[in-house]
Amino acid sequence: MQQHLETPAATRLRHAALAPLGEEGRVELVASRLIQTITTGAFAQGERLPAEQELAELLGVAIITVRGALSHLRQRGYIETKRGRVGGSFVKPSYQRILELNAAALKDTPRIALSDLGIHYDVITTACGVYACRRATTTEIDTVLQVLESINSSDPQVWRRQITDVQLEIAALSQSVRLTNEHINVHTECLPFFSLQDSDQDRREQTRANLVKKLEAIRGGDESAVADVVHTDSKQTMRWLLEQQSLLKNGG
């Protein structure tokens, strides 16, 4: 079985995606949360999900609810279950299949809901950047910038994990646990859509360039410039996604 290295981004995404569900722990909701962990890339093809008991504890639901959700995922082809000493539930879809599922989700998402998600992401990301201007040290900023400049993978899946590492580290520069966690949550929700851009070299270059500008603005303590960069990146991303959505709906 292929081995996968766990990155800081994958770890954070797993924690966010598997946060307690509270009173709403229905089978459908658990299934939706588990599908999210797969479509965001928190678990790659061939990786094993946590055991049923662990998932129940992480999500705060009964084990029978988890079993029902896993059955739902098996029926839809997201996982396969193996028995025995090294058994468990393993992620089944390939990266290409995940992109197809994410494209289908984009196609089916109402435009107003997609735009609203973009606004939410814009607001939280801006807030993190503003507080990073006030709290981050030059050393911390330069460290993240060096990581960003070292990203050179041509593999879209690897690139997405690396760029997500940087985006979450920038959020953490705010030194606000609540803001950082909120950024992780909304970023996790957006990731299935963001990943659709990764085969577009122009979008990848724009994303990197905007992150460099953002870090430079944070280093200069320029809160207005940070907000401008975030707004620009959000508009570029939303424009691309809406164009792709139109193509998908028109059979493109």
Same domain, 83 and 14: yes
With a CB cutoff of 8 Å and minimum separation 6, the contacts of 144 are: 166, 169, 170, 173, 215
DSSP calls for 103-160? HHHHHHS-HHHHHHHHHHHHHHHHHHHHHHHHH--HHHHHHHHHHHHH-----HHHHH
In the prediction, which pLDDT does 14 show? 76
User: Pick from 44, 60, 93: which residue ends a domain?
Assistant: 93
Same domain, 123 and 35: no
Same domain, 71 and 118: no
Same domain, 80 and 117: no
Is residue 243 over pLDDT 70?
yes
Mean pLDDT of 101-107: 93
- Has residue 25 been placed in a domain? yes
pLDDT tens track for 32-61: 889 888 888 788 889 999 999 999 999 988
pLDDT tens track for 111-125: 999 999 999 999 999
In the prediction, which pLDDT does 40 show? 81
Same domain, 128 and 241: yes
- Has residue 99 been placed in a domain? no
- Has residue 102 been placed in a domain? no
In the prediction, which pLDDT does 20 show? 67
- Has residue 219 been placed in a domain? yes
The pTM score is 0.79
Is residue 1 over pLDDT 50?
no
Least confident of 25-34, 84-93, 103-112, 157-166: 25-34
Is residue 225 over pLDDT 60?
yes
Same domain, 113 and 84: no
- Has residue 117 been placed in a domain? yes
Averaged pLDDT score across all residues of the chain: 90
- Has residue 98 been placed in a domain? no
What CATH code is carried by the domain that includes residue 186? 1.20.120.530
User: Pick from 58, 93, 128: which residue ends a domain?
Assistant: 93
Percent of the chain with pLDDT over 70: 92
- Has residue 126 been placed in a domain? yes
**Cβ contact 129:227 at 8 Å:** yes
pLDDT tens track for 162-218: 999 999 999 999 999 999 999 998 998 899 999 999 989 999 999 999 999 999 999
How many domains does the chain fold into?
A: 2
Same domain, 151 and 241: yes
User: Pick from 47, 63, 93: which residue ends a domain?
Assistant: 93
Is residue 250 over pLDDT 50?
yes
**Cβ contact 211:170 at 8 Å:** yes
Same domain, 87 and 139: no
Same domain, 74 and 185: no
Domain that holds residue 221: 109-249
Same domain, 46 and 115: no
Is residue 233 over pLDDT 60?
yes
Same domain, 187 and 117: yes
Please tell me what DSSP assigns to residue 252.
-
Mean pLDDT of 96-102: 89
Percent of the chain with pLDDT over 90: 67
Same domain, 116 and 197: yes
- Has residue 199 been placed in a domain? yes
Residue 157: pLDDT band by 50, 70, 90 thresholds?
A: confident
Residue 41 CA to residue 175 CA, distance in Å, equals 26
Least confident of 72-81, 223-232, 234-243: 72-81
With a CB cutoff of 8 Å and minimum separation 6, the contacts of 6 are: none
